[in-house]
Amino acid sequence: MPSHDVMPNMELYQPVQVEDALAIADRLAERAWLVGGGQDTYGWLKDRAKSVDAMIDLSAIESLRGIRETSDGIEIGALTTLTEVTESEVIQQQYSLLSMAASRVASPQIRNIGTLGGNASQDVRCWYYRRGLDCYRAGGNLCYADTPQGMNREHSLFETSRCVAASPSDTAPALVALDATMVIQSSSGVRTVAAEDYFVGPANDIENTTVLRPGDILTAVRIPNTWANASFYFEKVADRNVWDFALVNIAAAFKLSGDTIQESRIVAGSVQATPRRVSNVENAIRGQSRSAATADSVASMATDGARALAHNGFKIPLMENLVKRAIIG
């Protein structure tokens, strides 16, 4: 039995320029692990659930930090801490959905170190997977959580192809709702990916939860002014108000004319391996009043296609009620 909470031996690289980090990442490929704040990484490595030969610590690269206003929105460096996102005046004033989401991550201590890029990109939560069992996601041929005896209270309702683990991120649903773009660099150059396409489910890729591949570095998140100053709603339901991951969270943005909904984005987290855009509800409420009557009429649509496991059926009414509360405001 491996000794937990003790870091394994590995090489450590601490570049101060993106170009150097890219060169190292390209050379080491799958042998290396990129680290920002490290809040998710160190648990994996200490528990020996994953192992690498080298760690590339990006924390000294100042160009990956900071919040910058652009001609069509803002750009946030991927290593910007969750505390900095929470306290940013421009984000609070124009894109408060993201600051609300960031403020609900874990605890103040973790938010002081954890980064936006790391929180959005973290791997799924499942104790079978995280304790090193050979489940589908770890290269095996069984989902231990999706069995009659499996413990799956925190797991997915949707898109459970071979894996029922859920995304734990609070910021990822907010980024999807804000139509964010993820900026990815590699030795081949720079590419951008819409946040909604950045996250991938188990039916498309059983081993990865984002489009990042060895040699890639998420360098920034761009948020367009499309949703600037919209009416926002974020709520997270967890067993405890601090530390815990969400049982379900909801991030929503509304463009209103009076009390009439012109356009909306409603995104749920922790109900599948990726943020879940509730598009059928968005379409149904377009042109409707933002009211309890509208919310009541569409709430059940939010969970169309949900498949409850043995212990997570409570997530269905929970998700429906969070969608209702978001619409009511």
HSE-CB for 62 with a 13 A CA cutoff: 0
Predicted confidence at residue 48, as pLDDT, reads: 63
- CB-based contact 105:119 (threshold 8 Å): yes
Among positive and negative, which fits the CA dihedral 233, 236, 241, 244? negative
Question: Cα(19)–Cα(44) distance, rounded to whole angstroms?
Answer: 27
Question: Cα(302)–Cα(139) distance, rounded to whole angstroms?
Answer: 32
Token pair 């704040």 is at which residue? 37
Q: Are strands 32-35 and 54-57 parallel, antiparallel or unpaired?
A: parallel
Question: Cα(133)–Cα(139) distance, rounded to whole angstroms?
Answer: 9
Token pair 């499942």 is at which residue? 126
What does R_g of the chain's alpha carbons equal in angstroms?
20
Q: Are strands 11-13 and 32-35 parallel, antiparallel or unpaired?
A: unpaired
Question: Cα(99)–Cα(146) distance, rounded to whole angstroms?
Answer: 34
Token duo for residue 38:
């490290």
- CB-based contact 231:256 (threshold 8 Å): yes
Question: Cα(84)–Cα(69) distance, rounded to whole angstroms?
Answer: 15
Among positive and negative, which fits the CA dihedral 166, 169, 174, 180? negative
From first to last of its 329 residues, the chain has per-residue pLDDT tens of 455 567 778 999 999 999 999 999 999 999 999 999 888 887 777 766 778 899 999 999 999 999 999 999 999 999 999 999 999 999 999 999 999 999 999 999 999 999 999 999 999 999 999 988 999 999 999 999 999 899 999 999 999 999 999 999 999 999 999 999 999 999 999 999 999 999 999 999 999 999 999 999 999 999 999 999 999 999 999 999 888 999 999 999 999 999 999 999 999 999 999 999 999 999 999 999 999 999 999 999 999 999 999 999 999 999 999 999 999 99
Q: 78 has which bridge partners?
A: none
Of the candidates 101, 114, 236, 126, the residue with the CA atom closest to the CA atom of residue 176: 101
Q: Residue count of the chain, please give it.
A: 329
How many C-beta atoms lie closer than 10 Å to residue 239's C-beta? 11
CA angle 202, 204, 205 (to 5 degrees): 65
Predicted confidence at residue 1, as pLDDT, reads: 45
| Burial per residue of 20-32, b for 16 or more beta-carbon CB atoms within 10 angstroms, e otherwise | ebbebbbebeeeb
- CB-based contact 181:196 (threshold 8 Å): no
pTM over 0.85: yes
* φ and ψ at residue 77, rounded to 5 degrees: -60, 140
Token duo for residue 295:
């919310």
